[in-house]
Amino acid sequence: MTIEIHPGLYNYAIVVMLMMAGLYIVITRGNLVKKIVGLNVFQASVFVLYITMGKIVGGTAPILEAGIEVYSNPLPHVLILTAIVVGVATTALGLALVVRIREAYGTIEEDEIQRQDEAL
Amino acid sequence: MIFQSITQHLPILQVVLPLIAAPLCVLLRRPALSWLFALAVTWASFAISIALFIQLEHVGTIVYELGGWPAPWGIEYRIGTTSAIVLVVVSGIGSVVMPFAKASVTAEIEPARHYLFYTCYLLCLCGLLGVVATGDAFNLFVFLEISSLSSYVLIGMGRDRRALTAAFQYLIVGTIGATSIVIGIGLLYLVTGSLNMADIATRLPEPGTNRTVLVAFAFLGLGAALKLALFPLHVWLPNVYTYAPSAVTAFLAATATKVGVYILLRFIFTVFGAGFAFTAMPLDTMLMALAVAAMFAASAIAIFENNVKRMLAYSSVAQIGYMVLGIGFATVGGVAAGLIHLFNHALMKGGLFMALGCIFLRAGSVRREAMAGIARTMPWTMAAFVLGGLSLIGVPLTVGFISKLYLIRAAFEAGLWPFGVLVVLSSLLAVAYVWRVVETAYFREPSTEAARATEAPLSMLLPTWVLIGACVYFGIDAELTVDTAFRAATSLLGAQP
């Protein structure tokens, strides 16, 4: 079986790479801030996925103008704007929790936190 | 005239009321005032869900177009029998936990943050209700994130510092789950060009002809499984339930995972259709295998758990197994049994976690050794715990019996009788873990904590007994729950041939 990447699927290949890279960071990194960054990369891949699917070959920006027949689909862009807001909220809350964890434990390394909890 | 126009808008009021109330709650600031306000809002939303439930008797499905925009373009709220059941469960538990929360929150959270607690509580309620009411796939994601984000905050307010790490872990896992759902929705949009769930269902290509649909199915299944804590994706749940404030545990245990089950049902049956999920894809086998694993593995862990709150958390994972098992049968009887258990389990786990909240308030700990002999000083609380525990086991005259009766019956009807036997066997494990607590609380010499304890205040005891009472009531007179569940299951499976 040969895998051939169609040039039109370039964006989707990037999406898959970003998604896996993000997930990998979340799983392997012990530093809580790095975990949040990984989560951000993971979410960013979804943003790219949505933005890509709104693109229509030969289409322009969706502004009504005489003589233009083909427009890009604006709906996925609007949707992902909402998802970006959700992502920002998640990041902010995640970082706030990291701050509180650091105040309570004095560290943001997962194994160190685990060690302190087990010592109890 | 005015009354009539209000009844027309109930589906949106159900969601918008707590949404608007939440920022108003921030303005109130004073602990007692914000509590009273949140109490009024939760009771009002419970009244709305009851009104919707009654309205459904006449119409079958309530369809509400937001802003008057017709369906594929505008967002549509669609409330069928299944959603009505879950709406009643969520808002009902929300309104029973509120009076309980007053004393419990005062003891566990500093007064300066009470108004924020109630704000997040209302937001969480709004998100959970929104997920259930909406008929739009993307809207579902947004509400899911509203409920998740606010629940991370609620969990992080726990007194133990481990509440923070539990909330963080849940944030990571929950975000991966919700993002999976959004990927699935995006891929479905790519194929069908629609976000309306009923509309997507009619536009999906023939099963097996489109690989994007398969990938979407996988992502949506993964997201829902993470949210409902299906074994082995349950790792976030025990810590969350153990370290969250008592009122939050009671609320989330009875509602959040149930909404996860609802998302699974919604996508399997209304979007993909039973034919796709169970015939073209082996989802039924997978669900049944994981459900059985949950029933045994989680119950076995629960037996050896010394923190009783954590024990009940593992028991929740096992009980979710029963719901998923019913869905996995892919028959009307099975799905109905799953829905019956969804309702019943909300009652018993809500009641049990509230009883533990009472014990935590008075004894300062929910470890088993601290609970030794506590039945002497807190007889009413422990009596509630015992009744809830009997219900977990599935003793006749409690709701647990009704759940298991219909689940076993569905197993036999579907020709899968070994699963019926497995349900009975796993119930024996429940006997073991419930008995360990009962034995400690009734037949041991009181510990220092237990000797110091006094009976919980009425404001906490009464809500606990409301849920435990409902456990017994619906265990004796199950006609309403069984009828409604079967109606819901028939419409879920009947929608797709």
Q: How far apart are CA B113 and CA B29, in angstroms?
A: 9
CB within 8 Å of chain B, chain A residues 9-38: 23, 26, 32, 35
AA identity, residue B175: T
Which residues, listed in sequence order, are joined to residue A109 by a DSSP beta bridge?
A: A31
What pLDDT, on a 0 to 100 scale, did the predictor assign at position B495?
A: 52
Q: Is the pLDDT of residue B463 over 80?
A: yes
Say yes or no for a CB contact (<8 Å) between B152 and A97: yes
**pLDDT average, residue stretch A81-106:** 94
Q: Is the pLDDT of residue B496 over 50?
A: no
Residue among A29, A90, A118 with most chain B CBs within 10 A, to mutate: A90
Q: How far apart are CA B118 and CA B112, in angstroms?
A: 12
Residue among A97, A107, A110, A115 with most chain B CBs within 10 A, to mutate: A97
Say yes or no for a CB contact (<8 Å) between B189 and A53: yes
Each residue of A34-44: pLDDT tens digit? 999 999 999 99
As a whole number, the mean pLDDT across chain B is 90
What pLDDT, on a 0 to 100 scale, did the predictor assign at position B2?
A: 65
Name the residue of chain B whose CA is nearest to A81's CA: B142
Q: Are B161 and A105 in contact (CB under 8 A)?
A: yes
Each residue of B208-239: pLDDT tens digit? 678 889 999 999 999 999 999 998 899 999 99
Q: Is the pLDDT of residue A120 over 70?
A: no
What pLDDT, on a 0 to 100 scale, did the predictor assign at position B73?
A: 83
Q: Is the pLDDT of residue B35 over 70?
A: yes
CB within 8 Å of chain A, chain B residues 146-205: 149, 152-153, 156, 161-162, 164-165, 167-168, 171-172, 175-176, 179, 182-183, 186, 189-190, 195
Q: Are B82 and B492 in contact (CB under 8 A)?
A: yes
Tokens of B368: 């088993």
Give, for B98, the enclosing helix (H) or strand (E): helix B81-108
- Domains of chain A: residue spans and CATH: 9-55+71-119 (1.10.287.3510)
What pLDDT, on a 0 to 100 scale, did the predictor assign at position A3?
A: 59
Q: What is the ipTM metric for this complex?
A: 0.92
AA identity, residue B13: L
